[in-house]
Each structure stands twice: as C-alpha cells, then as structure tokens.
C-alpha cells in the first residue's frame, strides 16, 4: 500500500514555505456590498450586470482567508473569513454568481499591470464571462497546475497529468528527493512555481552574487584605467562595435539581457572599457522594458517587502532609513536572479494574465468604470 508519509513527499511540499501557504489562502471578494460589507443580493433581481457595475456598489472586501477547497466540485459552499473583523462570507447559488474572488497578491499585480481594470470593471468582466465564482474565464491562458497539489486560488488551470503523478509516486516509493527532482518539480514539469508567493523579490540573491563577483569586478574597474590593448596595436583591425558612439551603444545595451552584455564585454578590452560603466543602468532599463514585474512596485505592501529585504541585506536596522536609494542597487545581478526565481516567474505569469484580461475587456467592449 502506498503511504503518503514519505520523506520524498515531505521534501517536495517543504519547497513551499508557510508564507507561500498563507499567500494561497489570502483572498479578496469583489461584488455589490453595502457600507456594512453585506452582499446586496436584491440588485441582481432588478438590474443587469452593467447597471450594477455602473451603480457604484461594486466594492472589494480585503484581508479574507479562504477556509474551503473551492475547486472541489463536491463543495457547494465557498467560505471566507475576515482576518480583521472575523465576519464570515458564505457564498452559494446566486451569491456565487454575484461575487468574484481573487488571490490578494494577484489582485495587486493586476492593478499594476492593467490599471484600466478597476474593481468594478474587473467584476463586470468576470460576471459576463463566468457562471459562478469558481470558474475560469475562457480564452485566458492561466498555465497548468497539477491536481496533485490541490486546487487553490492562484489563477491557474487545474489538470490531471498521469506522467507527473507517476514521477511523484516514484519519489514517494524511493523515500528520497534528489536535487534533480526538486528542480524538475519546481521549475519543470511539476510547475510548483505557480504556487510560490509572487512577491519574494530575489534581493538577497542579487547581493550575494554581487559579493561573489566583487574581486572580478575590481579587476575590471582597474582595467578601465589602462589603455586598450587593441589601440596599442598599430593597424589593428577594429570591429564595427568599436566605432559605434557611446550614446548609441547605450541604446543598444538597453535591449540586451545582462548575460549578453557581460559576453559583449569579454570580446575586447575596448568593449570592456566602453560597456562596464553601463552594465548596471542597462540592466535596469532591460528590466523596465522586458520584465517590468521584477521592478519594485511604486508603493503598497509588495514595495515594502522589497525595501525591507534590501534594508536587511544592507544591515540597516530601521525600515524607514532615509539612506535607501535605488541608485547603487546591483541591477545586473538582480536581473539574473529574477530569471532563476520561481517567485518572479509566477509574478510574470500573473502580469501576463492581467494583460490578457485587459485585452479581453477591450475586445468585448466592457466600459471603463
């Protein structure tokens, strides 16, 4: 008989932290609520969805925790409890039709990626495309998550994958979890990254990488004060890149990933001299143009988490320390760390979902609200 009490399975589930689990259960309700946060079920009896959305009663109830596996088809109730007031919201039947819910951290990302999706407009989009509160909107690519991990509110399609399930069974039977297993389950076929909290910015990893390469970069900075070996060679053949003005070179660098910039620096001492000072600002520009979800949000709890991590890494004791500045942040190392981060991968997925929802709202002519 197969036992789920397995070191291998325990090792898999331990790849998620308590913060990941807490994030999974943190939800926001979207619907027509009065000033006392009571659901106005009377509205649907006389008004259309559009009239309800335009009526000003669509609100968001924040800081809720889900207490049922809402993806189960045998569970007719969706129960949410307010962490602030203790009030319960039990949704069934017409209530499920009127109220949508979304992961709290996902909603914050949606507001950044697609500001036009206000709470009323997002509610109306869901109401017009989903029959109840547990469905997904068609034509939106949420990416797939294995049903083995349970059905959580992560903006993900749940599917059965027999090959993946067999691999998990194999891990349980041999009672061990290899590094290859971890990598495959988290970032490969297991897609466990879909359940990692999408606000764990890899600040510490960036600083760790920066410290490890400090000696190399010191040598590089010294090389900047030396004349180019190429220029000392009479009649040396120059590449086309050497002749490009520095301002044009900077524009080119802004569209190159950090790894390509480093490779370009290694082509010649002249390129090293030209590009080394541009590595950090170019990495920041590349993130802004290609991975905007990796940049610290302008405000809100996710920005606070980014700042607190940075302050911790820099050994600053007060989160409000005025010395905090992004000018000297190791953007090149941070960009590389983001490419390896399951959290940033999930954040990027949700960002893309927000853009898909925004395009769908425009396509369907859902009005700005």
pLDDT at position 111 is 96
Tens digits of residue pLDDT in 348-361? 999 999 999 999 99
**Same domain, residue pair 235 and 310:** yes
Query: CA-to-CA distance for 42 and 132, rounded, in angstroms?
Result: 17
Closest CA to 67 of 7, 152, 2, 125: 152
Kind of pairing between the strands at 58-66 and 78-82: antiparallel
Q: Please check whether residue 248 lies inside any domain of the structure.
A: yes
Name the pTM for this structure: 0.82
Q: Please check whether residue 216 lies inside any domain of the structure.
A: yes
Q: Please check whether residue 159 lies inside any domain of the structure.
A: no
Query: CA-to-CA distance for 166 and 146, rounded, in angstroms?
Result: 12
Average pLDDT of the segment spanning 220-227: 49
pLDDT at position 144 is 77
**Same domain, residue pair 356 and 326:** no
pLDDT at position 109 is 97
The label of the residue with tokens 């499920």 reads 96
Beta partners for residue 61, in sequence order: 29
Query: CA-to-CA distance for 159 and 98, rounded, in angstroms?
Result: 26
**Same domain, residue pair 315 and 211:** yes
Q: Please check whether residue 160 lies inside any domain of the structure.
A: no
**Same domain, residue pair 53 and 27:** yes
Structure tokens at 333: 């190392």
The label of the residue with tokens 């049922």 reads 68
Tens digits of residue pLDDT in 117-171? 999 999 999 988 875 545 678 888 888 777 666 555 456 666 667 777 788 888 8
Domain region containing 110: 18-142+349-363
Contact 346, 199 (CB under 8 A): no
Domain count, the chain: 2
Which residues are CB-neighbours of 315 under 8 A, at least 6 positions away? Answer: none
pLDDT at position 2 is 41
**Same domain, residue pair 208 and 334:** yes
**Same domain, residue pair 298 and 354:** no
Tens digits of residue pLDDT in 7-38? 667 777 788 899 998 998 899 999 999 989 98
Structure tokens at 282: 């170019």
**Same domain, residue pair 324 and 356:** no
**Same domain, residue pair 316 and 355:** no
Closest CA to 172 of 2, 1, 17: 2
Q: Please check whether residue 157 lies inside any domain of the structure.
A: no
Query: CA-to-CA distance for 365 and 345, rounded, in angstroms?
Result: 31
Q: Please check whether residue 192 lies inside any domain of the structure.
A: no
Query: CA-to-CA distance for 27 and 24, rounded, in angstroms?
Result: 8
Does residue 282 have a pLDDT over 60? yes
**Same domain, residue pair 304 and 356:** no
**Same domain, residue pair 210 and 332:** yes
**Same domain, residue pair 30 and 56:** yes
**Same domain, residue pair 280 and 355:** no
Q: Please check whether residue 190 lies inside any domain of the structure.
A: no
Tens digits of residue pLDDT in 79-103? 899 999 999 998 877 777 788 888 9
pLDDT at position 301 is 94
Query: CA-to-CA distance for 168 and 185, rounded, in angstroms?
Result: 9
Q: Please check whether residue 8 lies inside any domain of the structure.
A: no
Measure Cα distances from 274 to 224, 259, 271, 277, 284 in Å: 9, 16, 5, 7, 18
* Helix ranges restricted to H, the chain: 7-13, 18-25, 49-54, 94-98, 104-113, 119-129, 162-174, 179-187, 203-212, 214-223, 229-232, 246-253, 258-265, 269-275, 279-290, 301-313, 331-340, 342-363
Kind of pairing between the strands at 100-103 and 26-32: antiparallel
């Amino acid at each position: 008989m197969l036992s789920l009490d397995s070191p291998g399975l325990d090792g898999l589930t331990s790849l998620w932290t308590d913060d990941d689990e807490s994030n999974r259960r943190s939800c926001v309700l979207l619907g027509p609520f009065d000033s006392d946060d009571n659901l106005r079920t009377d509205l649907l009896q006389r008004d259309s969805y559009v009239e309800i959305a335009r009526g000003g009663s669509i609100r968001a109830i924040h800081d809720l925790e889900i207490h049922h596996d809402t993806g189960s088809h045998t569970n007719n109730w969706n129960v949410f409890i307010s962490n602030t007031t203790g009030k319960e919201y039990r949704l069934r039947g017409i209530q499920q039709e009127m109220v949508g819910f979304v992961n709290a951290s996902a909603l914050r990302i949606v507001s950044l990626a697609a500001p036009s999706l206000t709470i009323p407009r997002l509610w109306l989009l869901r109401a017009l495309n989903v029959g109840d509160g547990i469905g997904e909107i068609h034509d939106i690519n949420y990416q797939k998550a294995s049903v083995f991990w349970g059905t959580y509110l992560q903006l993900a399609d749940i599917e059965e994958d027999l090959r993946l399930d067999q691999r998990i069974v194999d891990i349980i039977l041999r009672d061990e979890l290899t590094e290859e297993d971890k990598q495959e389950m988290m970032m490969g076929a297991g897609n466990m990254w879909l359940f990692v909290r999408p606000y764990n910015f890899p600040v510490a990893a960036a600083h760790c990488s920066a410290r490890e390469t400090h000696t190399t970069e010191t040598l590089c900075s010294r090389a900047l004060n030396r004349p180019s070996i190429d220029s000392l060679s009479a009649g040396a053949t120059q590449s086309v890149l050497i002749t490009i003005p520095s301002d044009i070179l900077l524009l080119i660098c802004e569209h190159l990933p950090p790894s390509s910039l480093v490779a370009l620096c290694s082509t010649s001492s002249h390129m090293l001299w030209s590009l080394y000072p541009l590595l950090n600002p170019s990495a920041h520009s590349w993130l802004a143009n290609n991975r905007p979800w990796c940049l610290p949000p302008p405000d809100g709890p996710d920005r606070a988490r980014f700042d607190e991590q940075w302050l911790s890494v820099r050994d600053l004791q007060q989160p409000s320390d005025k010395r905090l500045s992004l000018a000297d942040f190791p953007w090149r190392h941070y960009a590389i760390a983001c490419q390896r981060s399951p959290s940033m991968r999930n954040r990027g997925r949700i960002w893309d979902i927000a853009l898909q929802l925004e395009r769908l709202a425009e396509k369907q002519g859902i009005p700005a609200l």
